[in-house]
């Protein structure tokens, strides 16, 4: 009888403890939910950007070159279907930049913005300075932060002016893009970790366009996004977690096939694991301009980079040769994971 009474008392104590643990857990979960939804979408201030569009034909021409080439804006902002790989070669020239292109990953779907000058659904809603702030810092006029798909914090004032000047010349297209669809996990990540893009050092007013290593550094890091894709990144926070240009970043296939992932190659001049080690300058230019998407799943914007000038590609090649070699093997560029 004594032992039975002891067991009953022990069970009562245990149940009471579990009850309080359950209450505490419930309070913590409710507090987390309240915190996430009160902080989503995240807002943060960012500097204003004194940029105004130009009507100068040379400035507009440079903007067109950047949008359709080096900065590859058109690849993401076309109104089309990324799964139709065969159309990508021409779509950046034939389809309007009215957005709506989906970028999906488990638990989230993002849609590219309408960057035509439509006043209701496109960039016609924004002043030049507001648009410049969105591009440079990823912060809208109401201070909400956009996801770090488009990272141009160090693009020069001259090139930013050119991009905006060209976009203002496009025909406006009324296309209301769906809002991003995020589950609770992604909203929590946004609420707690999303921050405006941070420029690295001073932002240049202009950069001399030549074939120098310095210009290649600017193109690769500030304009063409080479570093963003070829450096391993925490896709939930946007923070770099790998050695610069050593590859290994995991991203969904451009075809958006379930379970198909792409790993970016190592671009450092490591003799054992460097993907382009031993390539000549001419081979590099030929690969970028003329060979295109040899791996159909590749997320690299080949369609835009083929429009880059030989001199710009030469500058990037020269810069890549100056990187510190990093021994980091990326065994498979495309991986099929079971669903």
> Helix, strand or coil for residue 262?
strand
Predicted pLDDT of residue 234: 77
Q: What is the mean pLDDT of residues 206-229?
A: 96
What phi, psi does 138 have (nearest 5°)?
70, 35
Top-confidence residue, 95 or 205 = 205
DSSP 74-136: HHHHSSS-TT-HHHHHHHHHHS-S----EEEETTEEEE----S--TTTSGGGS-HHHHHHHHH
**Chain centre to alpha carbon of residue 258:** 20
Element (H, E) at 185: helix 184-193
Helices (H) and strands (E) in the chain, counts: 12, 6
Q: How confident is the model at residue 8 (pLDDT cuts 50, 70, 90)?
A: low
Predicted pLDDT of residue 39: 80
As a whole number of angstroms, the distance between CA 339 and CA 337 comes to 6
Q: What is the per-residue burial (b if ≥16 Cβ within 10 Å, else e) of 7-29?
A: eeeeeeeeeeeeeeeeeeeeeee
pTM for this prediction:
0.89
**Contacts of 278-286 spanning 24+ positions with Cβ under 8 A:** 279/317, 281/314, 281/317, 281/318, 284/313, 284/317, 285/310, 285/313, 285/314, 285/317
Query: CB under 8 Å to 35, separation ≥6 — which residues?
Result: 191
Q: What is the mean pLDDT of residues 175-198?
A: 89
Q: From the CA atom positions of the chain, what is the Rg in Å?
A: 24
DSSP 52-65: -----HHHHHHHHH
Top-confidence residue, 166 or 200 = 166
Other residues' Cβ atoms within 10 Å of the Cβ of residue 260: 15
As a whole number of angstroms, the distance between CA 44 and CA 52 comes to 23
Predicted pLDDT of residue 167: 98
What phi, psi does 251 have (nearest 5°)?
-140, 155
Report how far apart the first and last C-alpha atoms of the chain are (Å, whole number): 56
What is the maximum span of the chain, computed from C-alpha positions, in angstroms? 98
Q: What is the mean pLDDT of residues 11-35?
A: 72
Tell me: the pLDDT tens digits for 153-172? 999 999 999 999 999 999 99
Q: How confident is the model at residue 1 (pLDDT cuts 50, 70, 90)?
A: low
With a cut of 80, say whether residue 225 has pLDDT above it: yes
Predicted pLDDT of residue 112: 93
Least confident span in 4-13, 172-181, 226-235: 4-13
Predicted pLDDT of residue 84: 60
Q: How confident is the model at residue 81 (pLDDT cuts 50, 70, 90)?
A: low
As a whole number of angstroms, the distance between CA 205 and CA 123 comes to 24
Q: Tell me the Ramachandran region of residue 231: left when phi exceeds 0, alpha when psi lies from -120 to 50, beta otherwise.
A: beta
As a whole number of angstroms, the distance between CA 130 and CA 167 comes to 14
Helix axes 184-193, 2-39, angle to 10 degrees: 70
Residue from 194, 193, 265, 279 nearest 229 by CA: 265
Other residues' Cβ atoms within 10 Å of the Cβ of residue 158: 16
């Amino acid at each position: 009888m004594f032992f039975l009474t002891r067991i009953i008392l022990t069970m009562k104590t245990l149940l009471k403890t579990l009850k309080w643990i359950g209450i505490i857990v419930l309070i913590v979960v409710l507090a987390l939910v309240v915190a996430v939804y009160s902080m989503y979408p995240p807002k943060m201030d960012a500097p204003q950007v004194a940029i105004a569009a130009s009507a100068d034909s040379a400035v507009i021409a440079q903007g067109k070159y950047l949008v359709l080439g080096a900065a590859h804006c058109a690849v993401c902002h076309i109104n089309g279907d990324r799964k139709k790989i065969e159309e990508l070669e021409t779509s950046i020239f034939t389809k309007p930049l009215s957005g709506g292109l989906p970028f999906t990953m488990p638990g989230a779907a993002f849609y590219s913005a309408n960057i035509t000058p439509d006043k209701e659904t496109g960039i016609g809603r924004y002043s030049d300075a507001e648009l410049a702030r969105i591009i440079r810092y990823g912060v809208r006029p109401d201070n909400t932060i956009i996801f770090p798909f488009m990272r141009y914090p160090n693009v020069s004032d001259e090139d930013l002016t050119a991009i905006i000047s060209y976009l203002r010349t496009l025909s406006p297209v009324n296309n209301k893009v769906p809002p991003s669809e995020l589950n609770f996990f992604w909203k929590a990540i946004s609420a707690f970790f999303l921050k405006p893009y941070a420029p690295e050092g001073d932002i240049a007013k202009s950069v001399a366009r030549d074939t120098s290593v310095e210009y290649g550094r600017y193109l690769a890091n500030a304009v063409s996004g080479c570093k963003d894709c070829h450096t391993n990144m925490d896709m939930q926070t946007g923070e770099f977690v790998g050695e610069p240009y050593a590859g290994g970043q995991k991203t969904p296939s451009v075809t958006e096939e379930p379970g198909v992932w792409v790993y970016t190659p190592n671009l450092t001049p490591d003799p054992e694991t460097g993907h382009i080690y031993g390539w000549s300058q001419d081979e590099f230019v030929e690969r970028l301009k003329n060979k295109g998407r040899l791996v159909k799943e590749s997320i690299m914007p080949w369609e835009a980079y083929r429009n880059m000038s030989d001199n710009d590609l030469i500058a990037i090649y020269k810069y890549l040769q100056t990187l510190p070699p990093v021994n980091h093997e990326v065994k498979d560029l495309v991986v099929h994971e079971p669903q």
